Amino acid sequence: MSKAAQLRKCFRNMPLVPIIGAHNPLSARLAERAGFAGIWASGFELSAAYGVPDASLISMTQHLDMARAINDAVAVPIVADVDTGYGNAINVIHTVEKYEGAGMAAIVIEDKKFPKDTSLLAGGRQELLSVEEFEGKIAAAVATRRDADFMIIARVEALIAGQGQAEAKRRGERYADAGADAILIHSKSKTPDEIIEFINAWERTTPIVIVPTAYPQLTERDIIALKKVKMVIYGNHGIRAAVTGIEQVFKQIRADGGIHNVDKNIVPVTHIFDLQGVAQMKENEKKYLR
């Protein structure tokens, strides 16, 4: 079964599809082992991994190469965050050809102007495309995909841009009419009220996707109770967890003047061997090295 068909199956069979951001194949493997149904090939996480802002600075090729490497490392489907689709509808056509060709299960395209600014930044530059132009981008994506299972998810940034519920709903409906398979509604509000208001007002059958980073108090049980949300994306917890762990250990090594104290607090090298697939390699050596 293709990864796109796998994701469609999750949408049909699970009350809520939980996926989490990764920035490399190793973090994707950790997500898979933890039980996530899929991986979010996050633009924010990869930008952070390169040490640059999430503002259309990394190229499509950089993101696609990592998304492909992540996809190769796990059995679960990948939802690729392609930001604005790297330009206009013509760029979107190219983006869909490349990401679908690389085995992604879905892409998420957001209705901001290229170059974009990251959504959760206080005072960020949040400029929206005209509805008409973004409808053209969605239509181009839908017409370009080869496999109907490959999902085109339209991301509405109207709440992020402070344009209110009516504008967010209008955009969501227009993008659903243009053929989007799901609508990602994003919010940076510190409480879930804004997102709940949007969900309660949503009248289409097109499923909703949310990214509750700013309002972490909303649990999966709460989301399922809202009925219309089919996927939850935990956007940046992988990179934040990595930074938390690395900062702490590196500081301690400097403070201690050696690695004698940190050693017992971090995973042994054998754990990394396991994540790298060394056991499989050893089996192959026995079978094939002659």
- Compute φ and ψ for 102, nearest 5 degrees: -85, 0
The reply on whether position 25 binds ligand SPV by CB under 6 A is: no
Angle, nearest 10°, between helix axes 164-177 and 131-144?
30
Phi, psi (5° rounding) for residue 134? -70, -35
Using the rule CB under 5 A, is 43 a contact of Mg ion?
A: yes
Q: How far is CA 96 from CA 86, 145, 204, in A?
A: 11, 6, 25
Cβ nearer to ligand SPV, comparing 154 with 249? 154
Cβ proximity to ligand SPV: between 25 and 235 the closer is: 235
Q: How far is the CB of 223 from Mg ion (least distance, A)?
A: 20
Minimum CB distance to ligand SPV smaller for 206 or for 236 = 236
**Distance separating alpha carbons of residues 70 and 64, to the nearest angstrom:** 10
Cβ nearer to ligand SPV, comparing 16 with 266: 16
Interface with ligand SPV includes 44 (CB under 6 A)? yes
**Shortest distance in whole angstroms from residue 45 CB to Mg ion:** 8
| Choice from 8, 45, 56, 81 touching Mg ion (CB under 5 A) | 81
What are 198's strand-pairing partners? Answer: none
Q: What are phi and psi of 79, to 5 degrees?
A: -105, 115
54 a catalytic residue: yes
The footprint of ligand SPV on residues 209-238 (CB under 6 A) is 211, 213, 235-236
Is position 21 an interface residue for Mg ion (rule: CB under 5 A)?
no
User: In this chain, which of 120, 226, 249, 262 binds ligand SPV, going by CB under 6 A?
Assistant: 120
Distance CA 261, CA 252 (A): 8
Q: Using CA atoms, how far apart are residues 219 and 238, in angstroms rounded to an integer?
A: 18
Binder of residue 111, out of Mg ion, ligand SPV, none (CB less than 5 to 8 A by kind): none
Which of the choices Mg ion, ligand SPV, none does residue 80 contact, using the CB cut-off of 5 to 8 A by kind? none
Interface characters, 64-93, with ligand SPV (x: CB under 6 A): -----------------x------------
Considering the candidates 54, 83, 149, 181, report the single residue annotated as catalytic: 54
Please list every residue from 129 through 188 that binds ligand SPV, using CB under 6 A.
Answer: none
Nearer to ligand SPV, 162 or 257 (CB): 162
Cα–Cα distance, 230 to 227 (Å, whole number): 8
DSSP E strand boundaries for the chain: 17-22, 38-41, 78-81, 106-110, 151-156, 182-185, 208-210, 229-234
Q: How far is the CB of 84 from ligand SPV (least distance, A)?
A: 11
Residues of 167-197 as b/e, b for ≥16 C-beta within 10 angstroms? bbbebbbbbbebbbbbbbbbbbeeebebbbb
206/213 with CB nearer ligand SPV = 213
Q: Are 107 and 142 in contact (CB under 8 A)?
A: no
Q: Which residue in the set 71, 84, 95, 119 belongs to the binding site for ligand SPV (CB under 6 A)? A: 119
Which residues of this protein are in contact with Mg ion, per CB under 5 A? 43-44, 81
Write out the catalytic residue numbers. Answer: 54
